[in-house]
Amino acid sequence: MTGKIQGLKPLIMWGVLMELLYLAFYFFPSGQPAVAWFTIVHIVGWLLLLIRFVFTKTLSEKIDRRWLSIAIGFGIVFRLTLVPHDIVASDDIFRYVWDGRVGLSGENPFRYAPIDSAVAHLQTDDLPKRINHPEMRTIYPPLAQVFFIASNVLFGPSISGMKLLFVLFDILTMIMLVRLLRLRNSSPNALLLYAWSPLPVLYIGLDGHLDALGISFLVLFLLFLSENKPARGACALGAAALAKLYPMMVAPFLFWEEKGWRKVVVVMIPVAMLGVGTMFYIEPTGGLLESFLVFNSAFEFNGSIFKLLLTMLQSNELAHTVSAILLFMTLAAVFFLRRPILEKVFLAFVGFIVFSASVQPWYLLWLNALLVLRWSRAVFVLIGTIGLSNLVVYEYVGSGVWADQSWILLLEYIPFFVLAVLELMTSRRRKANA
């Protein structure tokens, strides 16, 4: 690495500015004003990262231990600042708390929908009133359910308590990312791409999303592989999938991390973990898969390729099917690439975002963490422009209308796809000249 060690004063000034923006949430009333400020903070925080990493090219600068401590410290403060605040742009956490209450009572959360009379005795002032789609049974996998129960044991039906646990896992993610950067001989300066990104601060510290749990295990998976421990990495990947199912799509990539008969064994470890975990929640009414199948065959929001397919095919079901096939083909192509597994994992999650019917902003959290280890201008830009989707939330809070807007989708995805194509062309030129 070359370059002078970065000064502390600019970093502190930037950190103080961001902290003031997060503190300002406490001065905005709930509803549309809070959602508007949420969107502004997302864009402003991302623009500051844009100035630092894209225009000043500081990803490779040297840093000292004090600089790193301040960077991590501010990242923690940003998140903790928002933990006591009520949610703003997403209400998923109320489902988490409800599932925890149901599980703690001894009932299977996959058996009853929140509005079912059989679980009416578990109702609170907020639950199930503030749950999104209370007529549907839960979709969250076994480790997530264990986490929800643990939160209820520790904090009762408290969203702030659960958010605090998510933040603790996010802090572990930051620490592991530093370790990975050092193993890769990369500057820990890149940690700011996640620690100071408004995406995890807003969607983990403020709105409290389960992805924080899964991401920590995904990063642990990459850490174990970097230390040449594929079996442990497979176990970490299994835990990530038990928290949220997305990571299971990269399990086949483990095939190339071992030799001989171990190739199959190491791939089967996360699959077996998911299967065993699922066995604890099987019940006769089929609730274990009900919401998962409905979500993946009917729901759609803020998709890119899916939206084009829906416009052309005029069939939600057919567009879902074609999108799923395209994603499967992408994953198959990535499987056969002769690339390091980090690159394959990164490309798999890019494919997931590109072909998903629903692309909520917090789905980008996974790529935001991976961006620390594998830079991509296209993904970095999408992490910023995805904040525009909250304008749909703003409209919904004001009018009750939830609908994609074409101009928002164009602003979100055109820069991403243009930069992605340019990155692909640059990569091919480099290979041709090698």
pLDDT one-digit tens code per residue, 231-241: 999 999 999 99
pTM of the predicted structure, to 2 decimals: 0.95
Q: Who wins on pLDDT, 296 or 42?
A: 42
**Residue 4 confidence (pLDDT) above 80:** no
Alpha carbon distance 34, 267 (integer Å):
45
- Tell me the percentage of the chain whose pLDDT exceeds 90: 86
DSSP 100-140: HHHHHTT--TTTS-TT-GGGGGG--SSTTTT-SSTTSPP--
pLDDT per residue over 124-158, tens digit each?
999 999 999 999 999 999 999 999 999 999 999 99
Query: What average pLDDT does this structure show over 414-419?
Result: 98
pLDDT for 430? 78
Q: Which of 395, 322, 316, 383 is nearest to 349 (CA)?
A: 383
Amino acid of residue 231 = A
Distances (CA, A) of 31 to 28, 36, 37, 324: 9, 9, 10, 35
Give the start-to-end residue ranges of the domains of the chain: 8-433
Q: At what angle do helices 262-279 and 142-155 cross, to 10 degrees?
A: 50
* Token representation of residue 31: 């509803």
At residue 2, does pLDDT exceed 70? Answer: no
pLDDT tens for 381-399 read 999 999 999 999 999 999 9
Residues 294-318, mean pLDDT to the nearest whole number:
95
| Beta strand segments in 182-304, E | none
What confidence score (pLDDT) does residue 1 get?
Answer: 35
Distance in angstroms (rounded) separating the CA atoms of residues 382 and 253: 25
What is the tens place of the pLDDT at every residue in 331-382?
999 999 999 999 999 999 999 999 999 999 999 999 999 999 999 999 999 9
- 354's tokens: 């590109």
Q: What is the mean pLDDT of residues 265-273?
A: 97
- pLDDT for the residue numbered 285: 87
More confident residue, 309 or 10: 309
What integer pLDDT is reported at residue 5 of this predicted model?
45
Across all residues in the chain, what is the average pLDDT? 94
Question: Residue range 103-119: average pLDDT?
Answer: 95
Q: What is the mean pLDDT of residues 199-226?
A: 98
Residue 67 region by backbone torsions, left for phi larger than 0, else alpha for psi between -120 and 50, else beta? alpha
More confident residue, 74 or 66: 74
